[in-house]
Amino acid sequence: MDRLVKIVTERFILRNLTEKDVTERYLSWLDDTKVKKNITAAIKTKNLSDLKQYVRDKIGNDDILFLSIFEKTSGLHIGNIKYEPVNSELGYAIMGILIGDLSYQGKGVASEVIIASANWLKYNMKIKTILLGVSINNDMAICAYRKVGFVFSKTEFIPNHPSTMVLDLLNLRQTFQDNCQNL
């Protein structure tokens, strides 16, 4: 997406991912066993050159919003959130998120970042629904998604995925809730 985006939350700054953000540190996130199991691009990315090409292929597209997540105080790049495609005409976007810095996992980063970026999409791109495919065995991710308000639901926009979650932005929660019981 050519549009410059900067979203500031209580703890983080989200901005368009650039090729300069693609570092050995970022590449190291993709070596994690859980990441390789749950993020398709991690399997295909073998080296820094592959990762840079992947990012170049994504950042110029009008229907992709690819944001880097920086910790506000330190400026440390801790992860990314990507919406692909962003379909304003039909009012939906498909989301993927990676909190690559393990020290930030389990600390509410995903909830804070998803709520902020979803609100941006709602008000700037007329998005009403956010979708994602998630591994049914990824309890930590499912818990994070449920806190924001995602529910399991079938959708025509992600066919052939065994476990799809949907977030209706008309009822987007503005605060985090613990909806992780019964996992």
Residue 10: domain span: 6-171
For residue 111, tell me if it sits in a domain. Answer: yes
- pLDDT at residue 116, rounded to an integer: 95
For residue 135, tell me if it sits in a domain. Answer: yes
Q: How far apart are CA 177 and CA 26, in angstroms?
A: 30
Residue 43 has pLDDT above 80, yes or no: no
- The angle formed by the CA atoms of residues 113, 114 and 117, to the nearest 5 degrees, is 80
For 3-39, write each residue's pLDDT tens digit: 899 999 999 999 999 999 999 999 999 887 777 676 7
For residue 180, tell me if it sits in a domain. Answer: no
For 114-172, write each residue's pLDDT tens digit: 999 999 999 999 999 999 888 778 888 888 888 888 888 877 777 666 676 777 776 56
Q: Which helix (DSSP H) or strand (DSSP E) does residue 87 occupy?
A: strand 77-87
- pLDDT at residue 88, rounded to an integer: 95
- pLDDT at residue 9, rounded to an integer: 96
Residue 111 has pLDDT above 50, yes or no: yes
For residue 183, tell me if it sits in a domain. Answer: no
pTM of this prediction? Answer: 0.87
For residue 178, tell me if it sits in a domain. Answer: no
For residue 104, tell me if it sits in a domain. Answer: yes
Per the structure, the count of domains in the chain is 1
Which CATH number do you get for residue 162?
3.40.630.30
- pLDDT at residue 101, rounded to an integer: 95
Identify the burial level of 133 via C-beta atoms within 10 angstroms of its C-beta, where 0-12 means exposed, 13-18 middle and 19 or more buried: middle
Mean pLDDT of 86-110: 93
For residue 182, tell me if it sits in a domain. Answer: no
For residue 177, tell me if it sits in a domain. Answer: no
36 or 81, higher pLDDT: 81
